[in-house]
Amino acid sequence: MYLVFTTNYFPWLTIVVLFPIFAGSLLFFFPHRGNKVIRWYTICICILELLITTYAFCYHFEFDDPLIQLTEDYKWIRFFDFYWRLGIDGLSIGPILLTGFITTLATLAARPVTRDPRLFHFLMLAMYSGQIGSFSSRDLLLFFLMWELELIPVYLLLSMWGGKKRLYSATKFILYTAGGSIFLLMGVLGIGLYGSNQPTLNFETSANQSYPVALEIILYIGFLIAFAVKSPIIPLHTWLPDTHGEAHYSTCMLLAGILLKMGAYGLVRINMELLPYAHSIVSPWLMIVGIIQIIYAASTSPGQRNLKKRIAYSSVSHMGFIILGIVSISDTGLNGAILQIISHGFIGAALFFLAGTSYDRIRLVYLDEMGGMAIPIPKIFTTFSILSMASLALPGMSGFVAELIVFFGIITSQKYLLMTKILITFVMAIGMILTPIYLLSMLRQMFYGYKFFNVPTSYFFDSGPRELFVSISILLPVIGIGIYPDFVFSLSVDKVEAVLSNFFYK
């Protein structure tokens, strides 16, 4: 037994993927009114899952090896020749740890849910399994199944625990994401069935497969539409502000921290790694889309009266930097994109959490109705201000390092001409100038000036220990990565070189 646990033959990833959803299914045997017990049980499951994941990665993952590790390959459906294939490398280890961290804090952040708490916490754990399964899948059809596992939990969390327009935003979310999933399934089947009678859905086999140029571009566009909806990439982004505007803030933390990053991960893992020639052809057009996205979202954000919608548009703008890093086709740019995925996962989740805690106190969502909150709630004001500075890429914070390295990635890219690179960096700089405008105006409207609220004074208690713990837990890695970004780069740098060498020499 000792040898099984101390070698790579133990099915670590299967346990990590299946443990949350199976443990969550036990919640339905709990008493209906045991709200506190249900909540603490879910938090313990999340912490235990995070500890198991961290142990497996620390003791059984070699960080300087770009190959897939902790691999598992079991035949699942014999008739269909369908395999349960899992494995991780430098691209997936960061998002998986981010998923565990943000989900644990989102569960802790959720205030006692009065409406069916068992279902609420089960859906949180089901999302946990689906997200880790997506990041660790090494089979295209398994990736698709894990991708789809996200849809129902998010839809139910939106439609049951959202705001006044929750049914509208939930319906819009499911229509957009299910529509994108159709293109994902078509791409998976196209790759799996090309050139052989038996479906080949293995990532490694597909990476070594050559396709006709026209077919590769068609497959690429199909995957791109699916990932553009999830990321989101304009013009397929309109579901995001509505969803964030109505969702419970613990759901917003999962959406901003993890769900959007699944689309960016798919762009690297499938579009860039499996279809490099098409990526080379399409990347200049995606570069234009990324630049437009940064400017458009940063320009639209100041016009949003709803606090959470303003933060949502800032997320759309920051996702533009991830797109630019991916399409720069340079190791610096791709490492910067991966760092931005991790950085924005922390910052986006923290801003939505603080927006939710503010709403708990004043029951207002529109910025022009707020004001003067710095005096009654100074702790929330301080943490909100610091994390807004992190979002606008203040030096010393993770956002600054990520965006700076994306800049360097575009400048050092061998794919684009010098004048093109100068123009791209100039337009990106305009986007970075617009970012402080909407974030600082948001802080001014919320916290400065004078305002008499028509709410009882009992609402104006400052952050409690739970809220301070969540805020500081997210703030520490944001500052830590800003000071020492090499921690994240040490995970991804070898894999990035392997992806790009395959890209240039295929």
Among the residue ranges 100-114, 197-211, 308-322, 395-409, the one predicted with the least confidence is 197-211
Structure tokens at 355: 């927006």
Q: Which two tokens stand for residue 102?
A: 């943000």
- What pLDDT is attached to residue 412? 83
Q: pLDDT at residue 152 above 50?
A: yes
* φ and ψ at residue 460, rounded to 5 degrees: -90, 55
Letter for the amino acid at 19? F
pLDDT at 299: 87
Omega before 232 cis (within 30°)?
yes
Residues 91, 92, 97, 99: what is their CA dihedral angle, to the nearest 10 degrees?
120
Distance between CA atoms of residues 448 and 387, nearest Å: 17
CA angle 481, 484, 487 (to 5 degrees): 75
**Tokens read off for 225:** 């539409």
Inform me whether the pLDDT recorded for 4 exceeds 60: no
- H or E element at residue 121: helix 117-136
| Distance separating alpha carbons of residues 358 and 379, to the nearest angstrom | 11
Rounded Cα distance between 314 and 407, Å, is 19
Say yes or no to pLDDT of 371 above 80.
no
Amino acid at 270: I
Please state, in angstroms and rounded to a whole number, the distance separating the CA atoms of residues 131 and 151.
11
* pLDDT higher than threshold 80 for residue 451: no
Looking at the chain, the whole-number percentage of residues with pLDDT higher than 90 is 2
pLDDT tens digits, one per residue of 167-215: 888 888 888 888 888 899 888 888 888 766 667 778 777 777 778 888 8
- What distance in Å separates the CA atoms of residue 56 and residue 197, rounded to the nearest whole number? 38
For 451, the 3-state DSSP assignment is: coil
Count CB atoms within 10 A of the CB of residue 378: 13
Q: Which of 306, 312, 457 is nearest to 377 (CA)?
A: 457
What is the predicted pLDDT for the residue at 3?
Answer: 41
Give the closest residue to 289 by CA, choosing from 235, 335, 367, 231. 235
Closest of 316, 343, 322 to residue 240, by C-alpha = 316
What is the residue whose two structure tokens read 């690297």? 268
Which residue type, as a one-letter code, is found at position 35? Answer: N
Global pTM value: 0.89
Which amino acid, one-letter code, is at 354? L
- The answer on pLDDT for 273 being more than 70 is yes
CA–CA–CA angle 123, 161, 313 (5° rounding)? 95
Mean pLDDT of the chain: 83
Q: How distant, in Å, are the alpha carbons of 223, 315, 320, 430, 489 from that of 234?
A: 15, 12, 9, 18, 28
DSSP string covering 455-494: S-GGG-----HHHHHHHHHHHHHHHHHHH-THHHHHHHHH
Tokens of 451: 């305002």
As a whole number of angstroms, the distance between CA 98 and CA 101 comes to: 5
- The answer to whether residues 353 and 287 touch, using CB atoms and an 8 Å cutoff, is no
Predicted confidence (pLDDT) at residue 504 exceeds the cutoff of 80: no
The yes-or-no verdict on residue 37 having pLDDT over 80 is yes
Q: How many CA atoms lie within 13 A of 73 on its CB side?
A: 10
Report the alpha-carbon angle 234-327-227, nearest 5. Answer: 45
Q: What are 457-503's pLDDT values in tens digits?
A: 445 677 778 888 888 889 999 999 888 888 888 888 878 887 787 66
- The pair phi, psi for residue 71, each rounded to 5°, is -70, 145
Tokens of 307: 């606090």
Q: What are residue 366's DSSP bridge partners?
A: 306
pLDDT band at 2 (very low <50, low <70, confident <90, very high): very low
Q: Is the confidence at residue 5, as pLDDT, over 60?
A: no
Q: CA 296 to CA 361: how far, in whole Å? A: 32
pLDDT in tens, 218-235: 888 889 998 998 888 888
